[in-house]
Amino acid sequence: MTENRPDITHLPDLTDTSGRVTPVRTRMPIYVDLLPPCNNACPAGENIQEWLRLIKENETEAAWRQLVRDNPFPAIHGRVCYHPCETACNRKDLDAAVSIHSVERYLGDKAIENRWALPKPRTKSGFKVLVIGAGPSGLSAAYHLARVGHEVEIRDAGEKAGGMMRYGIPEYRLPRDVVDAEIKRVTDLGVKITLNHTVNDLLAEQREGGFDAVFIAIGAHLSKRVEIPSMDAGKMVDAVDFLRQVGSGEKPRIGRRVAVYGGGNTAMDAARVARRMGAEEAVIIYRRTEKQMPAHAEELADAQSEGVEVHWLRTINEVSAEIKVEIMELDENGRARGTGEFETLPADTVIMAVGQEADTGFLRNIPGLQFTDDVLSVDPTTLMTDVPGIFAGGDAVPSARTVTIGVGHGKRAARQINTWLNRQAVNERIKHPVVEFDDLNLWYFGEHPRSIQPELSARERVIDFDEVVQGLSDDQAVFEARRCLSCGNCFECDGCFGACPEDAIIKLGKGHRYRFDYEKCTGCATCFDQCPVHAIEMIAEN
């Protein structure tokens, strides 16, 4: 449901409706398509409002096909994305944000259940692209490149594809059969994935394989090191290694009491996994305050509900039979500093979760590549490095390290690689203005409570790795989609049609919206005043 709309990025403010009609019309209404805040906030670049609209129309498969135009992994994202779209959702200021992530999961699960498939590209481009890394960013890039006809091969050092989706995110959040099903969607398009393959000489592999372009999408699999005196180094393990072992089916011995050092989402996962691996006590030690903690609030809440304790303003000073921690305090600038006071905590295992780094060492000998600490420097628009034809994204470049950002980078890189291969000019897309809450006319919308996904009880959770959060029913998913306010885009409510005193609005039929009869329109702005979603603007008369 797209139409050619006027450029409204620099319109004057003509929304004051006082005085209304004059002998000569000085302004006129136009229909516009503005940018919903959810779409604007999505790192994967999804057209969220559109696939929600299709669900409202009970066109579930069409909604899924709209979604996977941008993101091949809705069942994964519906489980692990931290949904910045919901943080931006205007509905949160009315009652509660639309539960976008749960509806996305619903679509992803429906596709797996019904075995919905995508058509293979009809033509081949003749270009070959090498992708290094089978994590979310590499898989996303391969998917989008394959859909436009490029021959793509992914090479990855792991035994199975998925990267941190498989080895870093615990199964109680992301079941492995979901990961397998959505990766199969990529290979079904013809993408080749070569596993157990460590790339040491990228340029040689590119040359020998005849690849026209490269996308580097290696994950941040190396744990940062912190120098802590230890009388028993065997008690200290890396969080990434620990989660990878468990994700591979191993059962590391950790004892009854586990301490996790760090304050990010990886620390939360490590502590929750430790509880499931038999730890009776799991304690997180973090050197700053809860407000300064980088972990998402929901991750902290889930960990605490499962019996994980957090010791704020503490730092590990020494590991021996017990852990020696120093009590910290905040200085006048909000930075943590030591107080010289210490306490001891019992622990059989200390899991270090103080951050991760990308393993870019094998790239350091490529002439022209530039680095910022452990990651590659790239053009922020094209994601191309300083070496023509070599692109990078996800954890391999400066960015927040999440699955959704990685997938978004993969899509953007695929588009830019396609542009570069075809020797086309790079055109930056100009976004329409974003619709804010105050732009809406809320008289139209009633308050409706947000759908809540059922969850296992805290006692049930720590027994095994069964999925904690469950999905929505068909009725719940449709209801939740109908809570969308359709910010900035006409949804054919007939409000303008019914309100116009001059019968100057013509209905064009379902799915085609309306048009103005300017021979009848007086510029009174009644249509503008009542439009629930701000899909009408008043502009100056030519």
Q: Can you spell out the DSSP letters for 166-207?
A: HHTS-TTTS-HHHHHHHHHHHHTTT-EEE-S---S-HHHHHH
User: Mean pLDDT score of the chain, rounded to an integer?
Assistant: 93
Choosing from 421, 437, 462, the residue where a domain stops is: 421
Asked whether residue 168 is domain-assigned, the answer is yes
Amino acid 284: pLDDT: 98
Amino acid 19: pLDDT: 46
Structure-token pair, residue 246: 């468990």
Choosing from 92, 116, 140, the residue where a domain stops is: 116
Same domain, 302 and 367: no
Structure-token pair, residue 97: 């944000």
Same domain, 246 and 265: yes
Contact 300, 268 (CB under 8 A): yes
Choosing from 393, 421, 449, the residue where a domain stops is: 421
Supply the CATH number for residue 383's domain.
3.50.50.60
Amino acid 2: pLDDT: 42
Amino acid 20: pLDDT: 55
Supply the CATH number for residue 513's domain.
3.30.70.20
Same domain, 277 and 163: no
Asked whether residue 464 is domain-assigned, the answer is no
Contact 259, 348 (CB under 8 A): no
Supply φ then ψ for residue 222, to 5 degrees.
-100, 130
Same domain, 64 and 29: no
Amino acid 479: pLDDT: 97
- The whole-angstrom separation of Cα 176 and Cα 162 is 10
Same domain, 214 and 362: yes
Amino acid 10: pLDDT: 53
Asked whether residue 122 is domain-assigned, the answer is no
Same domain, 388 and 498: no
**Which among 453, 539, 403, 440 is positioned nearest to 37, based on CA atoms?**
440
Asked whether residue 350 is domain-assigned, the answer is yes
Asked whether residue 428 is domain-assigned, the answer is no
Contact 270, 353 (CB under 8 A): yes
The reply to whether the predicted model has a pTM over 0.75 is: yes
Question: HSE-up of 290 (CA within 13 Å, CB side)?
Answer: 9
Burial-class residue 437 by CB neighbours within 10 Å (0-12, 13-18, 19+).
middle
Same domain, 233 and 351: yes
Euclidean distance between the first and final Cα of the chain, in Å?
28
Asked whether residue 459 is domain-assigned, the answer is no
Domain extent, residue 63, equals: 37-116
Contact 441, 435 (CB under 8 A): no
Amino acid 101: pLDDT: 98
Amino acid 315: pLDDT: 95
Burial-class residue 180 by CB neighbours within 10 Å (0-12, 13-18, 19+).
middle
Supply φ then ψ for residue 501, to 5 degrees.
-75, -10
Mean pLDDT, the chain cut into blocks of 10 residues (542 residues total): 49 51 83 97 97 96 98 97 96 96 98 95 95 98 98 96 94 97 97 97 97 95 82 85 93 95 95 96 96 94 96 94 94 93 95 91 94 94 96 93 95 97 86 93 88 93 94 97 96 95 95 95 94 95 78
C-alpha triplet 381, 383, 385: angle, nearest 5°? 125
- The whole-angstrom separation of Cα 386 and Cα 368 is 6
- The whole-angstrom separation of Cα 423 and Cα 52 is 36
Amino acid 1: pLDDT: 40
Same domain, 279 and 345: yes
Same domain, 229 and 347: yes
Amino acid 234: pLDDT: 77
**DSSP letters for 377-388:** ---TTT-B-SST
Same domain, 232 and 278: yes
Give the total number of structural domains in the chain. Answer: 4
Which residues 6+ apart lie within 8 Å of 144 measured at CB?
72, 410, 411, 414, 415
Same domain, 288 and 338: yes
Same domain, 89 and 163: no
